[in-house]
Amino acid sequence: MKEIPAKMSSIASIILHTLIIPLWIVVFYLIYRPSWVTGWLNMGTPDSEQTLTFNLLIIMCITMGIILGSRILMLLFRKWIPLVGFRYTTWVICEGVAMSLFVGMYMALMYKGEYMYFEAVARSALLLSASIIYPTLILDLSLALMGILEEPKIDDEDLIRLYDNTKRLKLVIAANSILFVEADENYVIIKYTEGERIKEYTLRNSMKSLEDILQKHGIIRCQRSYYINPRHVKVLRKDKEGMIVAELDAPDVKSIRVSPKYYALLSERL
């Protein structure tokens, strides 16, 4: 399943969700003022306007804290877990549940036992769902559209079609996204980038069978067990043992030793 656009969990997305959605809750209820909400939030006090505004501001702070913490975690987890559509939707629903639990706790404490905790949570869930669904949808759809429009267009000629040893098509990938290809007994491991993530695909085939298609797209052999993409080589250097290694421009990707036999060819491509 395809991952959501990276823009939907970017730092800009975190800032927008953290600021816009909580602020929308306050503005929405101060302008719209449905009786079932104002009656609950002003708590029947003589100075009901101030109480209503104060409680809305507290709810705004609670939701702001939950969204900020949740979105930072989302950004961190995306490095290890692909954030596909259903996972993102589940995450957003969990955000709403967390908001309802904490807002319900606050209101139950404010009412000092007049409302049971789960009754307050139910009312909070209704209050929040009525106000945040539309801004959340608009933000997410806008960010998704911007992310899709900003994705680089890939020419069909730049795509590599990789088949297994039974001639079945297994992977179609942009040549520029491949970092290296590594032999692993009867398989090859293709390490590549997808957005901000580093991924790998294990293909049942031999290095020899892939040589022509990889070299056609500029991915060359650097030793017996590796093909490397020169476009991702940051520098060639000697390690502690005096062996030449290629450092790649992708984070947390191992350096790859370069055989003297292939050093000149790789140097020419850099």
User: Residue 219 region, left (φ>0) first, then alpha (ψ -120 to 50), else beta?
Assistant: beta
| pLDDT value of residue 157 | 65
Helix (H, G, I), strand (E, B) or coil at 43: coil
pLDDT band at 133 (very low <50, low <70, confident <90, very high): very high
The H or E element that residue 170 is part of is: strand 169-174
74: its two tokens? 């989302």
Cβ atoms of 228 and 256 closer than 8 Å: yes
First to last CA, the chain: 35
- The pTM of the full predicted model, rounded to 2 decimals, is 0.65
Residues 137 and 235 both lie in one domain: no
List beta partners, residue 162.
171
Number of domains in the chain: 2
Q: What CA–CA distances, in Å, run from 90 to 4, 66, 86, 128, 148? A: 13, 15, 6, 17, 21
Q: Average the pLDDT over 64-77 and give the result.
A: 93
Rounded distance between C-alpha atoms, residue 221 and residue 188, angstroms: 13
pLDDT band at 1 (very low <50, low <70, confident <90, very high): low
What's the mean per-residue pLDDT of the chain?
88
Which candidate, 202, 203, 199, 207, places its Cα nearest to that of 167?
203
- pLDDT at residue 154 is higher than 60: no
Residues 36 and 131 both lie in one domain: yes
Domain that holds residue 32: 6-150
Residues 141 and 252 both lie in one domain: no
pLDDT band at 153 (very low <50, low <70, confident <90, very high): low
Which candidate, 206, 211, 244, places its Cα nearest to that of 227?
211
Rounded distance between C-alpha atoms, residue 142 and residue 37, angstroms: 29
Q: Average the pLDDT over 132-155 and give the result.
A: 82
Which of 150, 185, 220 represents a domain boundary (last residue)?
150
| pLDDT value of residue 155 | 58
pLDDT band at 202 (very low <50, low <70, confident <90, very high): very high
- pLDDT at residue 37 is higher than 90: no
Amino acid identity for residue 208 in this structure = K
Q: How many CB atoms lie within 10 A of CB 263?
A: 15
Which has more pLDDT, 81 or 170?
170
Domain assignment present for residue 1? The answer is: no
Residues 85 and 179 both lie in one domain: no
Which of 118, 150, 182 represents a domain boundary (last residue)?
150
Domain assignment present for residue 78? The answer is: yes
Q: What CA–CA distances, in Å, run from 144 to 78, 154, 266? A: 16, 19, 39
| pLDDT value of residue 125 | 94
Residues 132 and 165 both lie in one domain: no
Which candidate, 191, 172, 174, places its Cα nearest to that of 182?
191
Which of 150, 175, 205 represents a domain boundary (last residue)?
150
The H or E element that residue 198 is part of is: strand 197-203
Residues 225 and 258 both lie in one domain: yes
Amino acid identity for residue 55 in this structure = N
Residue found under tokens 């789960």: 118
Which of 38-47, 112-121, 125-134, 233-242 tops mean pLDDT?
Answer: 125-134
Which candidate, 179, 169, 262, places its Cα nearest to that of 221?
262
Residue found under tokens 């692993």: 184
Residues 210 and 146 both lie in one domain: no
